[in-house]
Structure 1
Amino acid sequence: MSIRNLTLVAAAISATALLTACGSMSMQPMFSQDSLPDAVKVPAGNKVVMETVGVGQITYECRDKAGTPGAMEWFFVGPDAALNNRAGKQVGKYYGPPATWESMDGSKITATQLAVAPAGAGNIPYQLVKANPAMGMGAMSGVTHIQRVATKGGVAPAAACTAANKGAREVVKYQADYIFWKAA
């Protein structure tokens, strides 16, 4: 057997051993909520079933500030993001209003916000929501909670919001991890 053939055989054996080792490894989600503020931690009795990275944008609109006559503010209109798995493949989308997480299998959920916590200057806050019953059967069936963590960007525009630009819309890019939980 030539050296080239021996090298190819050795490479094939190594690749097979590696794939066998990977196949026997448990593919448990790696997310831990240990470093999160208590307000946005999922209650005991739930387990992570899906981890996604939301990449997209949030739209804000310059509107009258509620309860403050004559004041204006940037109002959160809604998100539009792709939900990707940890390998970068799109597995769903996140959009609103109402805030909706939809799997590529067609199942989707809306949710009610339970808590938020600061996530650092320039980043939208961490968030914990309680999922409503899923529409359709699939990945979203049985989801109890969703956490928004590891946020980057997404805060209201720095541009002034005044009577002169009332009704103007601004789109801001953001990224966040969305962690989906089901009852254990």
Structure 2
Amino acid sequence: MQRPSLLALAAAVSLLGACTTMAPKSMYSQDALPESVKVPAGNIVAMETVAKGELTYECKDKAGMPGQVEWAFVGPKASLMDRDGNAVGTYYGPPATWASKDGSTVSGTQVAVAPSGPGNIPFQLVKANPAMGSGAMMGTTYIQRVALKGGAAPATGCTPESKGQRSVVMYQGDYIFWKAS
């Protein structure tokens, strides 16, 4: 029996090392999220998207506080892309609606939010309503908003004299779509 040469062994080890670096993308994990925005057991990730867009706020009277005003959320407008940067849909509202390029849409009811850092909108968990149309959004049970950058309401500029004015704030975040397992 012929023994492999040292050069052949080195080449084999090198090839094995290369294979381990070509592992598939890691699965999404919610381990680092606050408990309140974690998706319940019995659901699996169906789609991961990255949203880039804008959130609109309007300077309005503060509820139950005469003479005081605040920036109130009006609605979102964003493009949804897959992890490779390909356009897969849009996010708009109200009501908050996620639309796939295949024509299917889903909206939902907010279950929970949790702080995500200064200047960022909060993490969010939404329970999905039944999807409309057939396609990628069919069977969605939950939508989770994570990995946020920006989007918080302006810290200044809303005064009683500026009621009715709007401000558009840019943001980015991941929307993770879940389906029953």
TM-score, with structure 1 as normaliser = 0.84
CA RMSD between the two structures: 1.7
Q: What pairs up with 1:46-125 in 2 under 5 angstroms?
A: 46-125=43-122
- Structure 2 residue identity aligned to 1:64: D
2: CA distance between counterparts of 1:87 and 1:31? Answer: 15
Counterpart for residue 8 of structure 1: none
Distance (whole Å) between structure 1 residues aligned to residue 111 and residue 139 of structure 2: 18
SS of 1:140's partner is coil
Matched position secondary structure for 1:39: helix
The match for 1:38 is 35
Distance 1:41 1:58 in 2: 24
Give the letter for the 1:85 counterpart: D
| Alignment match, 2:137 | 140
Work out the CA distance in 1 between the residues paired with 2:58 and 2:129. Answer: 27
Deviation at 1:160, TM superposition (A): 2.3
Secondary structure of the equivalent of 2:36?
helix
In the comparison of the two structures, how many residue pairs are matched? 162
User: Helix, strand or coil: the match of 2:142?
Assistant: strand
% same residue? 66
CA distance in 2, matches of 1:40, 1:29: 21
What is the distance in 2 between the residues matched to 1:64 and 1:110? 28
Task: Give the equivalent residue in structure 1 for 2:170.
Answer: 173
Unpaired runs of at least 5, structure 2: 1-18
Alignment of 1:126 onto 2:120: no
**Alpha-carbon contact 1:29-1:49 (below 8 Å) kept:** no
CA distance in 2 between counterparts of 1:63 and 1:84 reads 33
The answer as to whether partners of 1:134 and 1:143 remain within 8 angstroms in 2 is: yes
Q: Partners in 2 of 1:28 and 1:38 — Cα distance?
A: 25
